């Protein structure tokens, strides 16, 4: 985007993008934050001829077909394909390493690197001084078992400074706060290596998210949820719930305890940053657009997926993965001159994995079943069998401490108010509620990132 803007092209804000960022945290193709610029969707060709542009898709994974294969044979073939994928991505004339969190995805990739490489593999992980967000001890255990040359750093950063650095790379509004640890990990690893392998895509390709379990169950309970919704809303609004990590997760679940007409609407609600009631209370009438809701639901419900899991995974392939996760990885690593490669998103592997029987990926209450079995064949189970943490930051705490001044200054001054994106009184209320101890970071963060983007890029 910044290269296009550097040509001097006159651009104007696409108003729908404001609600889209508050809704999902990113702007998804084919639109951008500007009326005059579009993004090319994944696996698509844009052809300019005789003054006209046509866009066509040249590849799409097949979610309609299911392979007939025994589980044992599926494990063998899946492991073989992952190994081939890792091997292809080890071709490099420059120093190469691995991002290691100690989770299943990065562990599988790193363990296969150890098997395939003649030299000792360099692995990198970071952690935070806040133990709730520190995975470094898990990565260290895996690294010790695999015998890698392991580097780790425990950070206590200045979040305002990091955001200022990131704003120069985020030429579109982007509200996934995990870009901060990704950026810092890339910065750390780039001191030694130019290429790194990571585990991106494992949760989508092999169905690793809890929402793949929860959304269909909640949809089947729709009649009960219609009764429970007022009770849940009352609990979610209560100030008596303490702000532990578990209670924040409970509040997020409670906010979604309502009846939805379809699984598409349910899933959209589950992946949303801000629910409709919050968007309506915060956004001005001009910014309260539900265009992205209609696009998401229509895309989710289209034909070509054989079951509910396939529909949810396909949706993430079209929205969350290319709009959020891969944008985050690309911006964070390239800002530090580091090339990140993702073996679990290899075309051959993806085409195989999406056709695996759904019960091989989700078994009972366990997600990512087949990949976990492969991981356990490479390292002892006790090193990796643990609750999923995610690559998160102490965001709520930062907004009360190191980012408090920035958030109040940027979201309540005359410049922000003049944009007309948000209702000033509602913004003030959310900021004050957060300072009083009620976590409102899922609302404040996208608003803050929108305003920071506007100051850096829109107001140029």
> 31-45, 154-168, 240-254, 274-288: which has the minimum mean pLDDT?
240-254
pLDDT at 386: 80
Q: 71-88 vs 104-116: helix axis angle to the nearest 10?
A: 70
- Band (253; pLDDT cuts 50, 70, 90): low
Look at residue 237 in the predicted model and tell me its pLDDT. Answer: 53
- Residue partners of 303: CB distance under 8 A and separation at least 6: none
For residue range 199-213, list pLDDT tens digits in order.
999 999 999 999 999
Q: What is the pLDDT of residue 393?
A: 79
> Which pLDDT score is estimated for 302?
94
| Per-residue CA distances from 258 to 215, 224, 231, 454 (Å) | 12, 9, 10, 34
Judged against a pLDDT cut of 90, whether residue 244 lies above it is answered with no
* Helices and strands, number each (H, E), in the chain: 25, 7
Q: At what angle do helices 291-301 and 308-318 cross, to 10 degrees?
A: 130
Q: How far is CA 439 from CA 28, 362, 394, in A?
A: 27, 32, 12
pLDDT at 180 over 90: yes
432, pLDDT greater than 80 = yes
Query: Can you tell me the mean pLDDT for 232-240?
Result: 52
pLDDT digits (tens, 9 = 90+) for 322-360: 999 999 999 999 999 999 999 999 999 999 999 999 999
Q: d(Cα 339, Cα 87) in Å, to the nearest integer?
A: 16
Which helix (H) or strand (E) segment is 452 a member of?
helix 441-453
Q: Is the pLDDT of residue 64 over 80?
A: yes
């Amino acid at each position: 985007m910044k290269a296009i803007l550097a040509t001097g092209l006159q651009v104007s804000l696409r108003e729908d993008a404001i609600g889209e960022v508050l809704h999902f945290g990113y702007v998804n193709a084919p639109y951008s934050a500007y009326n005059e610029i579009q993004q090319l969707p994944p696996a698509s060709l844009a052809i300019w001829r005789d003054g006209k542009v046509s866009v066509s898709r040249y590849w799409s994974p097949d979610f309609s077909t299911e392979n007939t294969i025994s589980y044992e044979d599926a494990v063998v073939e899946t492991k073989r394909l992952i190994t081939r994928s890792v091997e292809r991505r080890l071709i490099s004339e420059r120093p190469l390493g691995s991002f290691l969190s100690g989770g299943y995805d990065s562990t599988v990739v790193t363990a296969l690197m150890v098997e395939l490489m003649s030299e000792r593999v360099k692995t990198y992980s970071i952690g935070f001084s806040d133990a709730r967000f520190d995975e470094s001890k898990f990565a260290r255990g895996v690294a010790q078992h695999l015998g890698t040359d392991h580097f780790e750093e425990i950070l206590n950063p200045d979040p305002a400074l990091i955001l200022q650095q990131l704003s120069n790379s985020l030429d579109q509004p982007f509200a996934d706060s995990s870009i901060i640890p990704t950026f810092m990990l890339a910065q750390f690893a780039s001191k030694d290596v130019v290429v790194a392998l990571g585990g991106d895509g494992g949760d989508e390709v092999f169905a690793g998210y809890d929402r793949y379990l929860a959304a269909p169950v909640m949809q089947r309970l729709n009649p009960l949820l219609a009764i429970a919704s007022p009770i849940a809303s009352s609990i979610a609004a209560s100030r008596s719930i303490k702000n532990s990590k578990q209670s924040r997760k409970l509040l997020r679940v409670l906010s979604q305890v309502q009846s939805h007409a379809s699984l598409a609407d349910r899933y959209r609600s589950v992946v949303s940053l801000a629910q409709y009631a919050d968007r309506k209370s915060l956004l001005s009438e001009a910014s309260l657009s539900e265009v992205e809701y209609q696009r998401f639901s229509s895309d989710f419900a289209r034909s070509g997926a054989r079951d509910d899991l396939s529909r949810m995974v396909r949706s993430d392939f079209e929205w969350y993965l290319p709009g959020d996760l891969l944008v985050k990885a690309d911006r964070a690593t390239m800002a530090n001159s580091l090339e990140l490669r993702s073996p679990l998103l290899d075309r051959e592997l993806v085409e195989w994995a999406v056709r695996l029987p759904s019960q091989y990926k989700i078994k009972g209450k366990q997600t990512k079943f087949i990949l976990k079995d492969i991981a356990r064949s490479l390292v002892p189970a006790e090193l990796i069998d643990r609750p999923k943490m995610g690559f998160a930051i102490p965001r709520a705490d930062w907004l009360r401490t190191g980012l408090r001044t920035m958030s109040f200054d940027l979201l309540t001054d005359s410049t922000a108010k003049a944009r007309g994106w948000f209702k000033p009184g509602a913004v003030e209320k959310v900021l004050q509620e957060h300072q009083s101890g009620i976590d409102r970071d899922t609302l404040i963060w996208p608003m803050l990132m929108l305003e920071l983007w506007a100051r850096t890029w829109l107001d140029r």
